């Protein structure tokens, strides 16, 4: 059996080495291993500012329980330097993370973490669309 030297100086059989290489390259029918991705629950909240969004009924028409929502920092917001916009699937703003709950989320986003929301409940109360969400972070 032929062996190959590893970067640590150890020896592994060539057949094993070839299996490892083919798994990472996708050749030889092997599967490409993916990193273990964690979806970490952070907070519950209601989307703030929906009453101030023009066309909110149209922008939230396709939003139901389980819908994923994108978050985008708005560092130049004149009222809140830690503001986080909440966007629908068309990247239209439907509101904000409440100011009382955005500090840690904003700092995580500024550090490059992927933060997003998932709709728990949507209810129309007079002219107010009340959307409750759970906020998550994807981490590798």
> What is the per-residue burial (b if ≥16 Cβ within 10 Å, else e) of 104-125?
ebbebbeeeeebbbebeebeee
Q: In terms of domains, do 49 and 27 share one?
A: no
- pLDDT tens, residue by residue, 30-70: 555 556 778 999 999 999 999 999 999 999 999 999 999 99
pLDDT tens, per residue, the chain with 140 residues: 554 444 444 555 666 656 655 555 555 555 555 567 789 999 999 999 999 999 999 999 999 999 999 999 999 999 999 999 999 999 999 999 999 999 999 999 999 999 999 999 999 999 899 999 999 999 87
Q: In terms of domains, do 12 and 73 share one?
A: no
Q: In terms of domains, do 16 and 42 share one?
A: no
- Dihedral angle at the C-alpha atoms of 12, 18, 21, 27, nearest 10 degrees? -170
Q: How many other C-beta atoms are found inside a 10 Å radius of the C-beta of residue 82?
A: 18
| Confidence at residue 127, expressed as pLDDT on a 0 to 100 scale | 86
Q: How many domains does one find in the chain? A: 2
Q: In terms of domains, do 29 and 42 share one?
A: no
Q: In terms of domains, do 69 and 122 share one?
A: yes
| Confidence at residue 7, expressed as pLDDT on a 0 to 100 scale | 44
Q: Which residue range is the domain that position 134 belongs to?
A: 38-139
| Confidence at residue 5, expressed as pLDDT on a 0 to 100 scale | 44
Name the strand (E) or helix (H) holding 45: strand 38-46
Q: In terms of domains, do 76 and 135 share one?
A: yes
Residue in the structure block whose two tokens are 């409940």: 121
């Amino acid at each position: 059996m032929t062996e190959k030297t590893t970067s640590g100086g150890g020896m592994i059989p060539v057949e094993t080495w070839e299996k490892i290489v083919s798994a990472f390259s996708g050749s030889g029918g092997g599967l490409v291993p993916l990193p273990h991705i964690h979806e970490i629950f952070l907070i519950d909240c209601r989307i703030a500012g929906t009453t101030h969004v023009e066309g909110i009924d149209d922008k939230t028409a396709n939003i139901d329980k389980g819908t994923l929502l994108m978050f985008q920092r708005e560092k130049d917001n004149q009222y809140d330097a830690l503001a986080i916009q909440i966007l629908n699937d068309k990247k239209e703003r439907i509101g904000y993370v409440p100011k009382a709950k955005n500090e840690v989320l904003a700092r995580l986003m500024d550090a490059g973490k992927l933060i997003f929301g998932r709709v728990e409940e949507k209810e129309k109360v007079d002219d107010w669309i009340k959307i409750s969400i759970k906020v998550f972070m994807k981490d590798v």
